[in-house]
A and B are shown apart, each in its own frame.
Chain A
Amino acid sequence: MSVELVQQTGVSSAKPRWRKVVRQLVMNPGAFIGALILLVLVFGALFAPWIAPYDWNEQWVGPRLAPPSTDHFFGTDRFGRDVFSRMIYGGRFSLSVGIATVLFSMIIGSLFGVFIGYTGGRVDHFGVMAIDVMLGFPPIVLAILIVAVLGVGLPNVVVAVGIAGIPRFARVVRGATLAIKARPFVEATQAIGAGHFRVMVWHLIPNVLPTITVLATLNLAGAIISTASLSFLGLGAQPPTPEWGAMLYQSREFYRFAPWNMIFPGLALFLSVMSVNLMGDRLSEVLDPRVSKGH
């Protein structure tokens, strides 16, 4: 702790802020491990065609439900598919779906927050109420409700979980907007009558960026779990998609005989969520102490 404190104060403000952040991230053992695991998983997903020893969707590349071996590192499933190859490709779905979900919440939530905060008055009043209403839904219940309307499938799950995540971003961004709006220079530009909104947004972005980054990282962990959960409930990815939640869903009938079908995709899911959390923890310490307390 004390070492970090020295660092925080010791680094001169002359250096660019983001480089400092990255350095502080990497110097922290937890965040370092997190970043490393995440890099491995992302690398696996990106270069899956070169890493995966088999086609993820090819059936009978091995015997059914074979235990892990040198031929099949993580064993095979009941269709003789290679679990390792499926898991590697699964990262493409599970991770990108998580990221897409957070981007969705972040963009819509931020726009909404800026809009109501900036407009103020009645719009702000009702906007806040809308945020309160949405926060009144337990997120997974709201996501399931939206899937009920849109139908099952991975894209719909992104929208559903994304919508459920909007209010948190909207609230934070609205708060920041109000604070900026109250500053004298905004009023000054208003007096000149030019580029009022642009100036505000210009000042807004650097101000909320740290908070948003922390919030997005923390939300990413939740989003990966939520989207996988919906797939596990049969509402998300459909066969033969090797999304990790869907792989666990598929393993249910046989996992007592072939636990490797359940252990490895679950482990991948767990590790990716954990590494995002590790980085989120450190980021919130470095960037925005307020957020880490509020959650």
Chain B
Amino acid sequence: MLRYLIRRVIGVIPVLFISWSLIFFVLQLTPGDPVNLMLAGRPASEEVRENTRRLLGLDKPVHVRYINFLWKAVRGDLGDSYRTRQPVITEISAQLRPTLELAAGGLVIGLLFGVSLGVLSGIRPNSWWDTGAMVFALAGISMPSFWSAMLLIFFFGLKLGWFPIVGEGLPALVMPAFTTGFFLVGNLARLIRSSILEVMTEDYIRTGRAKGLGHWKVVFKHALRNAMIPPVTLLGVQFALLIGGAVITETVFARPGLGRLLVTSVLNKDFPMVQALVVYTTSAYIMLNLIVDVLYSVIDPRIRDARSV
């Protein structure tokens, strides 16, 4: 087990290294003089421009900057924002909480509705319940989140006035959480349904039934528990979808957060900020997937063995 863990953790290092390098070089390709961006259009003497250039380390050749970037990134220093001239980490940490709240809200909605719909249709396949739940799930994965957000705002925010559109606290989180979670609802419901259908054909279920256990007992004691494993392990992948959802949701609801920060930084050409945000989300994503893998291998050792082949 320990060997597996060590191997997986070491395996992540080159992936992180390459992805950070990729981000660095991709942003080097970008047209535009960083000095101009840093000065944000301020009139500046040649001296000031040279100072800024030195400050940004642009007087050094690319490979030196690259090594500097990696060395600093490892220690958590990703430079200063062109726009605010503050360390990027300041703004990122300020906007981390609202995004985490949103992601958590989306996850709660997704699990709550996704699991119940999936179970509902899984244990009663081809019923009206099933059809209804699957149509709903299909809508969930097919609806562009900016459209569902606008519909929610229009009907529940503006027309009915049930939920606040902006603001802090739980009530204001309801509609954004639904927007972000809707996709997850659809995805999870479909996964769980097919997982249950598959489990129901397994031998031990049949054995259980043959032994005279009640239908519901079989369903709840055996089928559900086993059917949950594959969808839950996909939660790592779902995280990426939540991030994608956050970009849109935060923009429509004018919520602060990392997603909106990413979009405005791209539009503002604030490259240190873009670089830092991509480095962090990518690293978080990779690490999360690693954790899920490791946890899963604890639950089900077959995975570990299969991967080591």
Contacts and interface: CB of A to CB of B under 8 A. Distances in A.
B286 interface: yes
Given A235-B266, A248-B146, A269-B147, A137 B248 contact: no
Interface string B150-182: 110010001000000000000000000000000
A266 interface: yes
Nearest to A143: B244
B281 interface: yes
B154 A233 contact: no
A136 interface: yes
Interface of A: 1, 129-130, 132-133, 136-141, 144-149, 221, 225, 228-229, 232-235, 245, 248, 251-252, 255-256, 259, 262-263, 266, 269-270, 273-274, 277-278, 292-293
A148 B263 CA distance: 9
B23 interface: yes
Contact of A233 (B30, B151, B247): B247
Contact of A229 (B14, B29, B150, B248): B248
Q: Assign chain B's interface to a size class.
A: 35 or more
Interface string B241-283: 1011001100100000000001100110101001001100110
A149 B266 CA distance: 9
A17 to B, nearest CB: 24
A43 B96 CA distance: 45
Contacts, number: 127
B247 A144 contact: yes
A270 B247 contact: no
Query: What 5 pairs across the A-B complex have the smallest Cβ distances?
Result: A266-B147, A274-B142, A138-B240, A140-B244, A148-B266
B96 to A, nearest CB: 15
Given A141-B262, A235-B266, A255-B154, A229 B18 contact: no
Contact of A140 (B18, B26, B141, B247): B247
B44 interface: no
Contact of B263 (A129, A221, A233): A233
Nearest to B183: A225
A270 B266 contact: no
Contacts of A245: 144, 146
Contacts of B138: 274, 277-278
B244 A138 contact: yes
Looking at chain A's contact residues, is the secondary structure mostly helix, strand, loop, or mixed?
helix
Contacts of B266: 144-145, 147-148, 235
Contacts of B126: 1
B62 interface: no
Nearest to B281: A141
Given A221-B142, A233-B251, A140 B147 contact: no
A263 B155 CA distance: 12
B297 interface: no
15 contacts: A129-B15, A133-B15, A136-B289, A137-B285, A138-B243, A140-B243, A145-B23, A146-B26, A148-B269, A229-B144, A233-B248, A248-B146, A259-B154, A270-B139, A278-B138
A232 B282 CA distance: 23
B144 A273 contact: yes
B194 interface: yes
Contacts of A140: 243-244, 247
Given A232-B248, A262-B154, A136 B147 contact: no
Interface of B: 14-15, 18-19, 22-23, 26-27, 29-30, 125-126, 138-139, 141-147, 150-151, 154, 158, 194, 239-241, 243-244, 247-248, 251, 262-263, 266-267, 269, 271, 274, 277-278, 281-282, 285-286, 289
A136 B278 CA distance: 10
A270 B241 CA distance: 18
A133 B26 contact: no
Nearest to A273: B142
Contacts of B14: 129
Given A232-B146, A235-B266, A255-B154, A137 B19 contact: yes
Contacts of A251: 150
A234 B267 contact: yes
A144 B29 CA distance: 15
Nearest to B27: A149
A137 B15 CA distance: 11
A225 B144 contact: yes
Contacts of A145: 23, 26, 266, 274, 278
B135 to A, nearest CB: 9
Most chain-B CB neighbours within 10 Å: which of A1, A225, A245?
A: A225
A32 to B, nearest CB: 14
Contacts of A141: 243-244, 247, 262, 277-278, 281-282
Given A141-B244, A259-B154, A136 B144 contact: no
A270 B244 contact: no
A270 B147 contact: yes
Contacts of A148: 27, 30, 266, 269, 271, 274
Given A234-B267, A256-B158, A277 B141 contact: yes
B282 A136 contact: yes
A182 B125 CA distance: 41
